[in-house]
């Protein structure tokens, strides 16, 4: 009887332990993988204002800065606002997930800059590509956050604050240049092709302007034109006429 009771107790304890571990694992999975529980927004341009807190005038200015930066250096910068970052624990986690999903920056996302503002949580964060860390240093990020982002969030002047942030980040970011080792060789080859084509065209027109060089008879190629022998041919014709008049007609 005692053995049966102990077996029953052990079975209940084992089942209870399994249920507890399952509940803990389920809770941890829901917390560790928020990306699977909430869809991230899609990009809508250099200024993805999903929270609708940036005026059109400031959007145009920010967009102009981003376009100019990408033309000069190849660095892609995107400004994003969202109403909330829930269930992500911080704006930094949300920005990193969004940066990865949108694949910001060229060359395997190494030349990208994202600035994120979460309106409800009053938080801001930056996500950078690997090649951007040497120029947008922690000192630069702290200064930008202190001077522009945080004041903009506190006062609600998102447009102006994000524009100044974009300018402050674009200044060091334009020092980055995408690696294009094949470009100089292609450019040099194009110059030689152009030069060769020009020389060939000049030689062609010079050749067709000299019929003496194209004539099959060597005497013409030496400059002995038909016009130079017309005097001798006329003399022969005169002699032929003289012989005819001497013989007379019968």
- pLDDT (0 to 100) of residue 200: 84
Q: Residue 46's closest CA among 26, 25, 28, 61?
A: 61
Instruction: Return contacts of 150-153, CB within 8 angstroms, 24+ apart.
Output: 150/124, 152/117, 153/117, 153/122, 153/123, 153/124
- pLDDT (0 to 100) of residue 192: 74
Say if residue 116 is in the same domain as residue 211: no
- pLDDT (0 to 100) of residue 234: 41
The alpha carbon of residue 189 and the mean position of all alpha carbons in its chain are separated, in whole angstroms, by 23
How many CA within 13 A on the CB side of residue 221?
A: 7
Say if residue 53 is in the same domain as residue 165: yes
Residue written as token pair 């803990």: 24
- pLDDT (0 to 100) of residue 71: 93
Say if residue 79 is in the same domain as residue 158: yes
Q: How many domains does the chain have?
A: 2
Say if residue 61 is in the same domain as residue 158: yes
Q: Residue 158's closest CA among 28, 32, 15, 56?
A: 56
- pLDDT (0 to 100) of residue 190: 65
Contact 50, 80 (CB under 8 A): yes
Say if residue 108 is in the same domain as residue 156: yes
pLDDT values of the chain reduced to their tens digit, one per residue, 250 residues = 445 555 555 555 545 544 444 554 444 444 444 444 578 999 999 999 999 999 999 999 999 999 999 999 999 999 999 999 999 999 999 999 999 999 998 656 689 999 999 999 999 999 999 999 999 999 999 999 999 999 999 999 999 999 999 999 999 999 887 654 444 444 456 677 877 888 888 777 766 766 655 555 454 445 444 444 444 434 443 433 344 344 433 3
Phi-psi region of 242 (alpha: psi -120 to 50; beta: other; left: phi over 0): alpha
Say if residue 162 is in the same domain as residue 56: yes
* Residue 158 backbone phi and psi in degrees, to 5: -70, -40
DSSP H helical ranges for 103-177: 106-109, 138-144, 150-155, 158-173
Say if residue 154 is in the same domain as residue 202: no
- pLDDT (0 to 100) of residue 36: 47
- pLDDT (0 to 100) of residue 8: 52
CATH code: domain of residue 70: 3.10.310.50
Say if residue 113 is in the same domain as residue 166: yes
- pLDDT (0 to 100) of residue 178: 65
- pLDDT (0 to 100) of residue 225: 43
Q: Residue 93 burial (CB < 10 Å; 0-12/13-18/19+)?
A: middle
In a domain? residue 231: no
**Owning domain of residue 86:** 47-173
- pLDDT (0 to 100) of residue 4: 52
Distance CA 105, CA 72 (A): 14
């Amino acid at each position: 009887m005692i053995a049966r009771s102990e077996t029953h107790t052990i079975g209940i304890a084992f089942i209870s332990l399994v249920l507890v571990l399952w509940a803990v694992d389920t809770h941890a999975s829901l917390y560790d993988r928020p990306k699977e529980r909430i869809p991230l927004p899609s990009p809508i341009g250099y200024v993805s204002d999903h929270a609708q807190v940036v005026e059109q005038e400031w959007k145009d200015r920010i967009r102009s800065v981003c376009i100019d930066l990408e033309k000069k250096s190849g660095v892609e910068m995107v400004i994003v606002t969202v109403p909330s970052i829930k269930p992500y624990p911080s704006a930094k986690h949300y920005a990193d997930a969004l940066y990865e999903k949108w694949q910001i920056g060229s060359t395997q996302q190494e030349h990208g800059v994202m600035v994120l503002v979460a309106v409800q949580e009053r938080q801001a964060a930056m996500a950078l590509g690997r090649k951007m860390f040497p120029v947008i240093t922690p000192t630069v990020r702290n200064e930008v956050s202190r001077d522009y982002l945080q004041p903009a969030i506190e006062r609600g002047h998102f447009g102006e604050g994000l524009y100044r942030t974009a300018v402050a980040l674009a200044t060091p970011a334009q020092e980055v240049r995408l690696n294009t080792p094949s470009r100089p060789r292609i450019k040099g080859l194009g110059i030689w092709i152009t030069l060769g084509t020009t020389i060939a065209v000049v030689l062609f027109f010079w050749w067709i302007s000299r019929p003496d060089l194209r004539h099959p008879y060597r005497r013409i190629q030496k400059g002995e034109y038909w016009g130079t022998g017309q005097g001798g041919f006329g003399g022969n014709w005169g002699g032929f006429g003289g012989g005819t008049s001497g013989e007379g007609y019968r």
